[in-house]
């Protein structure tokens, strides 16, 4: 495991170099093979992380708790009502207290600025388990899944269809670091942050990849080896749901849209899915879907991240 990552925060994919992304993926593949062979590596024996969550979770909570257990460590889950960041207690005070008891903080927060506050005050590593701006552990799991299903990363063509949200941001930043070609299709006004796009385009150009943003979903998926979508309405946007359903209707990943992709295209979705909205049952449960492999791979990439930073 990397000594270069030890003690560092992971708030954004941009905190990782291209080489560090590949190192985490290599370690994740190794840990996955060893786990399936019944072998254990208790490299975090005696270590504890706090799971500090402002938002509910299935995959993130379970994979971090199970991951720490498989590595010989322990996780303490703090639910939204337990801490009430910034309400019951100031964010820096929470960070400084936790740093006296645990070896790392895994935070799932409403605002990315909260992560920054935690990291500035804590003397232990802080890992982003989702914010409104990024979801780096998800993106690392996505890359591992693409590598397994397509057989490569460099030059692989991927399409993102739907909302240019936090998951989209991290996927663009991660995919560009491994030389993938990514085309994003969103309705006008719903594209990813321009600064993220610019950073991803610059990195992709150095790595032999490409990043494009457009509005035509058919054009985006044409020949794509990977087709990725996410919910149209994220947590906190419930008031916009009906409007978003109308705006995004043409961006549904269904059999017709998928017919324009590579015949062996892999479909990704970070879950949970709103079935019948951004994706149909036929596609989500069909032969192209890799969503359960993708969900499983969160466990292994997060084990790799924790092994490196702790």
Active site residues: 108, 135, 138, 230, 270, 298
Q: Which position has the token pair 């000594």?
A: 3
Cα dist from 92 to 6, 49, 160, whole Å:
22, 17, 36
Paired tokens of 98 = 């936790």
DSSP one-letter string for 175-209: HHHTT-EEEEE--TT-PPPHHHHHHHHHHHHHHT-
Q: Do 76 and 49 form a contact (C-beta atoms < 8 A)?
A: yes
Among left, alpha and beta (phi > 0; psi -120 to 50; other), residue 84 is left
Helical pair 18-36 and 291-309, crossing angle rounded to 10 deg: 110
Q: Do 204 and 179 form a contact (C-beta atoms < 8 A)?
A: yes
Q: Do 47 and 73 form a contact (C-beta atoms < 8 A)?
A: yes
Q: Do 183 and 159 form a contact (C-beta atoms < 8 A)?
A: yes
DSSP state of 15: G
Q: How many alpha carbons lie under 13 Å from residue 239 in its C-beta half-sphere?
A: 1
* Of 62, 85, 87, nearest in space to 75 by CA: 62
Q: Residue 186: what are its φ and ψ, rounded to 5°? A: -135, 160
Paired tokens of 252 = 């549904």
């Amino acid at each position: 495991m990397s000594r270069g990552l030890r003690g560092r925060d992971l708030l954004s994919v941009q905190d990782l170099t291209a080489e560090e992304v590949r190192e985490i993926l290599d370690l994740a593949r190794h840990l996955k093979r060893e786990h399936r062979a019944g072998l254990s590596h208790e490299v975090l024996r005696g270590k504890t992380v706090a799971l500090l969550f402002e938002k509910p979770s299935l995959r993130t909570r379970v994979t971090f708790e199970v991951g720490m257990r498989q590595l010989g460590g322990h996780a303490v889950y703090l639910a939204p009502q337990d801490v009430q960041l910034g309400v019951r207690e100031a964010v820096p005070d929470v960070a400084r207290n936790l740093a006296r008891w645990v070896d790392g903080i895994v935070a799932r927060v409403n605002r990315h600025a909260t992560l920054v506050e935690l990291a500035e005050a804590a003397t232990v590593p802080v890992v982003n388990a989702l914010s409104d701006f990024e979801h780096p552990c998800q993106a690392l799991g996505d890359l591992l899944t693409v590598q397994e299903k397509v057989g490569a990363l460099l030059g692989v063509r991927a399409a993102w269809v739907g909302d240019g949200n936090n998951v989209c941001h991290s996927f663009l930043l991660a995919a560009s670091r491994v030389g993938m070609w990514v085309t994003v299709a969103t309705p006008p006004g719903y594209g990813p942050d321009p600064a993220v796009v610019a950073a991803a385009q610059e990195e992709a150009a150095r790595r032999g990849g490409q990043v494009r943003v457009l509005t035509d979903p058919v054009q985006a998926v044409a020949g794509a080896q990977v087709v990725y979508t996410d919910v149209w309405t994220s947590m906190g946007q419930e008031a916009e749901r009906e409007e978003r359903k109308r705006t995004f209707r043409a961006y549904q990943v269904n059999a017709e849209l998928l017919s324009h992709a590579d015949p062996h295209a892999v479909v990704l979705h970070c879950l949970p899915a709103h079935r019948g909205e951004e994706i149909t049952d036929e596609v989500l449960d069909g032969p192209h879907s890799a969503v359960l492999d993708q969900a499983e791979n969160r466990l292994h990439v997060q084990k790799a991240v924790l092994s490196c930073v702790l």
